[in-house]
Each structure stands twice: as structure tokens, then as C-alpha cells.
Structure 1
Amino acid sequence: MSESAHTDKLSVTVPSEVAAELRSRAGRGNVSAYVTDALIRQLEHDRLGDLLTELADVHGPVTEEELARARAEWPGR
């Protein structure tokens, strides 16, 4: 991830065991980058959920038949 020209400093509170694993996985000095990458992935996930909700509102829910057809056409199946 490239660093943005503008950044905001945030403060978060997490359980101690989560913080310990974060520090272990992120490495010294890389916690902010690790958390930023995780937040970007979550925000993308949230936006996809918003899109699915909007599509269902406009076109109706996906039927089991449509899901089965899509799964059958998915590569690697």
C-alpha cells in the first residue's frame, strides 16, 4: 500500500491478546501499515455488502437456482 499524502492519527482500544498478536504479526514499526491494510480490506468488504443490498433492492434477491448456476460456472469447480 502506498502512503497517502494526508494521514489522521487515531486511537483505538483492543484486547491485550489482540494487540500482542498484532505486534507479533506486524513486526516492529509496522503496526500502522498492518492495521491500515486490514481496514482497507474491511471497508472494501463493507462496500461490496452495500452493493449487494442495493442490487437486491433493485432486482430482488438472488434465487437458489441462480446461485447454483453461478457456482456451476465458477472456475475450479
Structure 2
Amino acid sequence: MGSFSIWHWLIVLLIVVMVFGTKKLKNVGTDLGAAVKGFKDGMKDGTTSADAPPQQVTNAARQDANTVDVEAKSKS
């Protein structure tokens, strides 16, 4: 009663294929694989070596040409 037989899983697989179709299942598998690969690449890029000191922001770096300095005002 607690475990399912191979016939149960074959019937479930057949119903899933009939509902979604093989093309959609293939696309889902491809998208899932790409997402996992992107996650692994992101985790790899996010690591830093223990020898490298943390970067300090200098005044020269703060004066970037693309940065806009604004003052936020609160609503009253």
C-alpha cells in the first residue's frame, strides 16, 4: 500500500505525456537545464578568493560620469 509498482508509474507517465505532449516536455527539460547551468555559472562568478582584500570605494570611483547625484525628499 505504501509503495507504488512500476505499472503505476508507467500509467502516470503516459497520462503526463498525453496531457502535455512530448514537445512541451522537451522544452521544459531544456529550460530547466539552462536554468541550472545559469545558476551554477552565477555561483561560480560570485566566489572570491580569500587572498583578495575587499575593494574600497574611492572618490575617483564615486565621480563616475554615469552616476547622477540627487537628493531624496520625503512626502509631507
Shorter-chain TM-score range = 0.3 to 0.5
TM score, norm. by length of structure 1: 0.39
Bigger Cα Rg: 2
- Please state which structure has a larger fraction of its residues in helix: 1
